[in-house]
Chain A
Amino acid sequence: MAMLTVKNLGISFGGLRAVDSFNITIEKGELYGLIGPNGAGKTTAFNLLTGVYKPDTGTVTLDGKNITGLSTIEINKAGIARTFQNIRLFKGLTVLDNVKIGLHNDYKYSTLAGILRLPSYFKTERQMSEKAMDILKVFDLDKEAHLLSANLPYGKQRKLEIARALATNPKLLLLDEPAAGMNPSETEELMKTITLIREKYGVTILLIEHDMKLVAGICEKIFVLNFGTELANGLPGEVLNNPEVIKAYLGE
């Protein structure tokens, strides 16, 4: 069964149709790439899928459940987590705490138990720390766990954002330009990490990326968005050689 089914999704800002009749089906466990020229509506599509914007038209179904029009919070609880193009970490908190916030809804104890430091506080906090360290290890961030997240170098900040999203235990992970600003060797390493987390956590991934090497290297399917609507969709070999796609990227 499909993990994500999007039908006829669209939104307008003023007179501009930013995303129009966006249709995509992602199977469970797939690694899908979303590409397109600047301003094609890729991030807007992410914002629609995660409830930052409410769509004018269309439906979004996640793992059989209709999540159209739900709030960002409810959509995360339903199983979609994301990263941001302009990194959005909790800069005043440590690397470990950033991930622990991702675990917020899976590990619970009451505010009162926290203030009074009841046994449930100690027990749950220990479990959270262990789980968070496990995730950080995957991203090779465990040594920086107690560093303030703002003090991480850029590439590691991008990784921490993925780790935090993963901590919410999502079914579908949306990555918005995960390799932006990385050098080739960092990108190489990131590609391995993405492949690894997909296997380890069984998560379905949709990613926006401009780095064609990354997209061609790890994505199993590619969707090309242009002027808010589908230009091409299919296997990497077909899509990347499609003359329409080349034209959209390189111009006439």
Chain B
Amino acid sequence: MKKWNTINKSTRNNIITIGVIVVIYAVCQLMIAAGAMSNLMQGLLVPLCYYSILAISLNLTVGILGELSLGHAGFMCVGAFAGAFFSKSTQNGIGSSFVGFLIALLLGAIAAALFGALIGVVVLRLRGDYLAIVTLAFGEIIKNVINVLYIGLDGKGFHFSMKDSEALNLEENGTIIINGAKGITGTPKHTTFTIAALLLIAAYLIISNLIHSRSGRAIQAIRDNRIAAESVGIDITGFKLLAFTLSAAMAGVAGVLYSHNISTLVATPKNFGYNMSIMILVFVVLGGIGNIRGSIIAAVILTLLPEYLRFLQDYRMLIYAIVLIVIMIFNWNPTCIAWRKNHSLRDILHSLTGKNKKEA
């Protein structure tokens, strides 16, 4: 115990969070082995991981850098397609599916990072709500462009078109890899719960360690006061770009996990539109802005909630919406904040235990 207290606080927090993830992972695996987990729940394990990664990575932009982004699903989309594109085109080429998947993950991260850097450059000139609208626009552009993108592969190499699959002029044995709005079909299902959970732990460690490092401090300084950060010689441009790029790369990885977990990958308003970006933002805000652990918890609860509310049928999303509004008001309304301070759980517990002691 003595040694435990000498480790620095952020390391302790890391160990606790990772420990909890590992325990939950082990419990899930045991339940699966014992046949005690429903198929529905088993199917949710991987999504829980990639939603958590998305929430963590968006928290870097929104919570740590302090810039509002409404286009996070766009980066996920880039990663999903880049990774699936690689896996589909090399399906017969690479012997080991594991190595292939690692490369796909890396490519997804790099592709998304490039777009992140691109948006980062744009963003350097903009602030606040203008930035929000640009990121939203970016997400919509990505989704639209992918829907008119046709790429095929045959003996002569890659063919590319933005018109239709006919225009690819493929040889007879050629295959269409990206088929416009029909997307990519038959991506190998490489994503497993184990890989997804490992990547979640990695993502958590990256952001958590970053926050407590020199670069992370610089990013937070920019968030808290840009002018003061400049006055002590912090390179605003560099660190903003770093945050945007890293955040996008991690969303790209989540995208690769997503695309290798389903059989047909298409870009629709539902999975990559602004509604998705907003859903991730809701995770971040409800989990606590800048709170990485909170992001994971919020992502998990808010993904499971609609599933467990299925018995409500048509009223499900209505209740979700009401819960969202009520939580926001409860969290942020000055009267509610004051009420919570006076009626905090800890005080109630203290008063109860206090009474007990007197009685004893």
Quick check: do A and B touch in the complex, using CB within 8 A?
A: yes
Name A residues whose Cβ lies closer than 8 Å to a Cβ of B. Answer: 50, 52, 71-73, 76-77, 81-82, 84, 88-93, 97, 100-102, 104-105, 107-109, 111, 113-117, 121, 124-125, 128, 164-165, 167-168
Interface of B is mostly: helix
**Number of B residues with CB within 8 Å of any CB on chain A:** 28
Q: Does B213 contact A (CB under 8 A)?
A: yes
Expressed in whole angstroms, the minimum distance between the Cβ of A167 and any Cβ of chain B is 8
Interface residues of B (CB under 8 A from A): 205-206, 209-210, 212-218, 220-221, 223-225, 227-236, 242, 290
- Bound-complex Cα distance A216 to B294 (A): 53
Cβ contact within 8 Å between B228 and A93: no
**Alpha-carbon separation in the docked complex, A77 to B234 (Å):** 9
Q: Are B233 and A92 in contact (CB under 8 A)?
A: no
Q: Is the CB of A114 within 8 A of B215?
A: yes
A88/B225 in contact, CB under 8 A: yes
Partner of A88, one of B209, B216, B228: B228
Q: Are B210 and A111 in contact (CB under 8 A)?
A: yes
Instruction: Return chain B residues, CB-CB under 8 Å to A168.
Output: 232-233
Q: Please give, as numbers and ranges, the residues of chain A lying within 8 Å of B242 by CB-CB distance.
A: 111
Contact among A91, A104, A111, A167 with B224 in the assembled complex (CB-CB below 8 Å): A91
CB <8 Å contact, B227 and A88: yes
Q: Which residues of A contact B233 (CB under 8 A)?
A: 73, 76-77, 104-105, 168
Across-interface contacts of B215 in A (CB, < 8 A): 111, 114
Is A115 a contact of B221 with CB atoms below 8 Å?
Answer: no
State A91–B66 Cα separation when bound (angstroms): 13
Return the chain A residue nearest B242 by Cβ: A111
Q: Which residues of B contact A84 (CB under 8 A)?
A: 227-228, 231
Judge whether A93 and B225 touch: CB under 8 Å.
no
Tell me, in angstroms, the Cα distance from A92 to B220 when the chains sit together: 8
The answer on a CB contact under 8 Å between B214 and A104 is yes
Whether B232 contacts A164 by the Cβ 8 Å rule is: yes
Q: How many Å lie between the Cα of A203 and that of B236 in the bound state?
A: 26
Q: CA separation between A82 and B231, bound complex, in Å?
A: 7
- Residue of B with least CB distance to A111: B215
Which interface residue of B215, B217, B228 has the most chain A CB atoms within 10 A? B228
Residues A76 and B232 in contact in the complex (CB < 8 Å), given A91-B224, A92-B224: yes
| Known A72-B227, A89-B224, A93-B217; further 13 A-B contacts with Cβ < 8 A | A73-B234, A84-B228, A88-B225, A97-B217, A104-B233, A109-B213, A113-B213, A114-B212, A114-B215, A115-B213, A121-B213, A164-B232, A167-B232
Would you call A114 and B216 a contact (CB within 8 A)? yes
Are A108 and B224 within 8 A (Cβ)? no
How many angstroms between the C-alpha atoms of A25 and B71 in the bound complex? 52
**Residue of A84, A88, A113, A121 contacting most chain B CB atoms (<10 Å):** A88
A165 to chain B, nearest CB (A): 7
The answer to whether A93 touches B230 (Cβ under 8 A) is no
Query: Would A90 and B213 count as touching, CB distance under 8 A?
Result: no
Q: Is the CB of A72 within 8 A of B230?
A: yes
Give the Cβ gap from A170 to chain B, nearest Cβ, in Å.
Answer: 10
* A117–B231 CB distance below 8 A: no
Known: A111-B213, A114-B210. A90 touches B234 (CB 8 A): no
Do the beta carbons of A52 and B227 come within 8 Å of each other?
A: yes
Contact B234 A104 (CB under 8 A): yes
Closest to B223 in A: A92
Q: Are B209 and A117 in contact (CB under 8 A)?
A: yes
CB distance from B147 to the nearest CB of A (A): 36
Q: Which residue of A lies closest to B234 (CB)?
A: A104
| A147 shortest CB reach to chain B, Å | 14
CA distance A124 to B214 in the complex (A): 9
A73 and B235 form a contact (CB under 8 A): yes
CA distance A71 to B235 in the complex (A): 11
What are 13 sample pairs from A and B whose C-beta atoms fall under 8 A apart? A72-B227, A81-B231, A82-B231, A84-B228, A90-B225, A90-B228, A91-B225, A92-B224, A93-B217, A100-B217, A101-B221, A167-B232, A168-B233
Nearest chain-A residue to B11 (Cβ)? A117
Closest 9 CB pairs of A and B: A114-B213, A76-B233, A88-B228, A90-B224, A72-B230, A111-B215, A88-B225, A101-B221, A115-B209
User: In the complex, A129 Cα to B224 Cα: how many Å?
Assistant: 21
A72 touches B214 (CB 8 A): no
Partner of B231, one of A50, A105, A111, A121: A50
Across the interface, B232 reaches (CB within 8 A) one of A52, A102, A111, A121, namely A102
* Contact A93 B221, beta carbon cutoff 8 Å: yes
Contacts of B229 in A (CB 8 A): 90, 101
**How many Å lie between the Cα of A113 and that of B205 in the bound state?**
13
A97–B218 alpha-carbon span in the complex (Å): 10
Is there contact, CB below 8 Å, between A90 and B220? yes
Select from chain A the residue with minimum beta-carbon distance to B211: A114
Q: Nearest Cβ in chain A — how far from B356, in angstroms?
A: 33
B62 to chain A minimum Cβ distance, whole angstroms, is 13
